Every structure is written in C-alpha cells, then in structure tokens.
Amino acid sequence: MNTDITGTITIAVQPQDNGQYICQLSSSLSDSPRENIQCYGQTKEHAIAIALEQLADEYRRMAEEQQNVNWDTVERSDSGEPIAKRYHVILHYERIAEEESKFEALHNTIMGNTVVENANITVIEIDPDIPINPLMRSWN
C-alpha cells in the first residue's frame, strides 16, 4: 500500500457556446487512477459534481480492491463465534429521468428496488474507531 501520496487536484471549468459547461479535473496525485477527467454539465456546479463523482468512483473502487476481502468469508474467534466487523457501504446510483417535475423524478427514483439493484455498491471494511458519518438524504 502506497502511504506516500502527494500532489494536487486542479479543477478548471469553462463555459461552452451552447450555455453548458465543461469541467476538466487534473490530478498530479502519485496514486491517481488517471491524469484527467473531462465532464459536461448544465451549470458549472453540475459539471464539477460529475467530475468529482467520477474521481470518487475510481478511488472507491481502488480502496475496495486493495483490501482483497473475500465476500463470504466469516472470521471466527477461538471459541468459534463469528466476529462482527464494521463496513462503510457506499451506494451510488444515477439515472436520467424524464418526468413532469423534480418531485416526480425523485419520487419515481425512490419507488421500487431498482435503485439498489442497479447501483454501484462499494463495501470497504473500516476500523471501528474511524470517525466516518454516512451522508444523509439531502431532502431531510
């Protein structure tokens, strides 16, 4: 595992002639999965969010792969009892919704199990003492 991670992430956002934006995210981090990410967005914030999400997805995948954890292995104590571990479960789901309103887009996404079934789910084993607080729903 590379513990010497240094470098910077640079974000440049440029307006396009069509009123949209392009975000170029450049990384000089020593463990960067790729040097450049380029994303379009409706607004500059939207373009930045998409680029950062792509970078986060690559790092989530790397973190999970580095652990090399067998999905169904249960560690047991000397007495044979299963040892419970702590996991950070990250569920990422995106879709393009064609709906009558923002409410309908949200409501129709939440309904059913398609979000969970079609999501990218990352499971990373974590230390019980690490101060990680899961994101909460933004509409709460």
pTM over 0.85? The answer is: no
pLDDT level of residue 73 (50, 70, 90 thresholds)? confident
In tens, the pLDDT along 121-134 reads 888 888 888 888 77
Residue where a domain stops, chosen among 24, 52, 68: 68
Residue where a domain stops, chosen among 16, 50, 68: 68
Tokens 């513990």 sit on residue: 3
Same domain? 33 vs 78: no
The count of domains in the chain is: 2
In tens, the pLDDT along 34-50 reads 778 999 999 999 999 99
Give the CA dihedral 140, 63, 40, 100, nearest 10 degrees.
-30
How far is the C-alpha of 102 from the C-alpha of 98, rounded, in Å?
A: 10
73-108 burial: b if 16+ Cβ within 10 Å, else e: eeeeeeeeeeeeeeeeebeeeeeeeeeeeeeeeeee
Residue where a domain stops, chosen among 21, 53, 68: 68
Same domain? 4 vs 64: yes
Per-residue 3-state assignment (H helix, E strand, C coil) for 38-68? EEEECCHHHHHHHHHHHHHHHHHHHHHHHHC
Same domain? 89 vs 64: no
Same domain? 53 vs 100: no
In tens, the pLDDT along 7-26 reads 888 999 999 999 999 999 98
Q: Which domain holds residue 55?
A: 1-68
